[in-house]
Amino acid sequence: MISTAILEQIQKEETPLYYYDLPLLRTTVSTAKTAADQWGYQIHYAVKANNNPRILQEISALGLGADCVSGLEIETAIAHGFDAESIVFAGVGKTEKEIRLALSQGILAFNVESLEELQVISTLAQTMNVSASVALRINPNIDANTHHYITTGLDENKFGIMMHELEDCLSLIHAKESALTLVGLHFHVGSQITDWSVFKRLCLKVNEWNTWFIERGITVPILNVGGGVGINYQNPDEEAVVDFADFFALFHRFLEPKPGQQVHFELGRSLVANCGSLLSRVLYIKRGLNKNFAILDAGMTELLRPALYQAYHHIQCLRPSDSPSEETETYDVVGPICESSDCFGKNVILPTLVRGDLIAIRSAGAYGEVMSSRYNLRQPLQFYFEE
């Protein structure tokens, strides 16, 4: 929630603008870390959710590791305070250049997604005369009950090592023991998971896989169970911070690491989504035959999620709290981009809008700024950080 004092300052700023509430970010990350610490769990922040330098600095300062999906994410994370030894590197399509970079930085682990990738990592590690620490990403075939574009843990998804390749992966690791060190098993079932029974099912699957490896004489040091914790997009003020204590307690209850095995998480959205809002001004009101359009100066180029996944974001009009209570109207809230999918919300009830009104599109801190584009040659984004 933006305070009246901050609102006065923001009124002078150009829009579209990403507003970041850094105190809320600190509270969220500290709450998550304290809850994880209670069970000795470690969190890697999924940099893909938001790589804004200010956000990275805040999160690294609070002692989290990083989960990266490209060479540039690794370099950016290190430049903004994350230790290389706390970085995991995921992604189905790592290039040789990226693998070499990660090897030279001495990262904690590659989350390996295929047999062929493992072969390439082993060859490159051999030529560089180093040992690559690898975690095998196993596809647990669990339905995350979320949007199909952010479901990753089903057999039909491209992620993770296929079961029939696992034995070959182990043989390769055995054969190349100077170049490959198996440090973990990695799982991730999807994003924006609000049905926590999914995580219980994940724990049970991880236990089964852990046993499968132990039966083959291998106790890996790390069980990495990924991220995916959903947030409340409907009520960002009532539930600004996820109940992390409950989340980690669930893992404590159902996951059965063996003595000495560490448990790692890769949280993105749940750490950063609610600290960000996209602020935009109403350019025009268009009165159609059956509906009203509020046309904003922000569009899918600034926040792609609604166009990409039909994602819901809470939309509100920001006016000083002493404004007289107003009539409301229903609007389709749209952007200026030449695409019909450029719509932030349909049939949104808002106070009767006029040109120049300031609109907040809430919970835009995750997968917002990072997915912005220059399509239509849009102006670079503006930022406001509440300290």
Ligand X SMILES: Cc1ncc(COP(=O)(O)O)c(C=O)c1O
267 binds ligand X (CB under 6 A): yes
**CB closer to ligand X, 67 vs 98:** 67
276 binds ligand X (CB under 6 A): no
b/e per residue, 243-266, with b = 16+ CB within 10 A?
Answer: ebeebbebbeeebebeeebebbbb
- Please state, in angstroms and rounded to a whole number, the distance separating the CA atoms of residues 24 and 385: 11
Is-contact 115 172, C-beta < 8 A?
Answer: yes
CB 227 to ligand X: min, Å: 3
304 binds ligand X (CB under 6 A): no
- Please state, in angstroms and rounded to a whole number, the distance separating the CA atoms of residues 52 and 76: 9
Binding to ligand X, residues 191-210 (CB under 6 A)? 191
317 binds ligand X (CB under 6 A): no
**CB closer to ligand X, 47 vs 343:** 47
Binding to ligand X, residues 214-253 (CB under 6 A)? 226-229
SS3 per residue for 272-287: HHHHEEEEEEEEEEEE
CB 309 to ligand X: min, Å: 12
Structure tokens at 82: 């994350």
**CB closer to ligand X, 157 vs 376:** 157
Of 124-132, 203-211, 265-273, 277-285: span binding ligand X (CB under 6 A) = 265-273
306 binds ligand X (CB under 6 A): no
268 binds ligand X (CB under 6 A): yes
CB 226 to ligand X: min, Å: 5
Q: Who contacts 316 (Cβ-Cβ below 8 Å, separation ≥6)?
A: 350, 359, 360, 362
Q: Which residue has the tokens 């952010």?
A: 150
Q: Which of 73, 113, 266, 357 binds ligand X (CB under 6 A)?
A: 266
**CB closer to ligand X, 155 vs 326:** 155
**CB closer to ligand X, 19 vs 89:** 89
What's the Cα-to-Cα distance from 281 to each of 11, 200, 329, rounded to whole Å?
A: 10, 43, 17
Binding to ligand X, residues 8-27 (CB under 6 A)? none
Rounded-to-5 percentages of helix, strand, coil across the chain: 35, 25, 40
Chain centre to alpha carbon of residue 118: 25
Binding to ligand X, residues 130-169 (CB under 6 A)? 152
CB 242 to ligand X: min, Å: 10
Largest distance between two CA atoms of the chain: 74
Chain centre to alpha carbon of residue 222: 21
CB 146 to ligand X: min, Å: 9
Query: Binding residues for ligand X, per CB under 6 A?
Result: 46, 49, 67, 90, 152, 188, 191, 226-229, 266-270
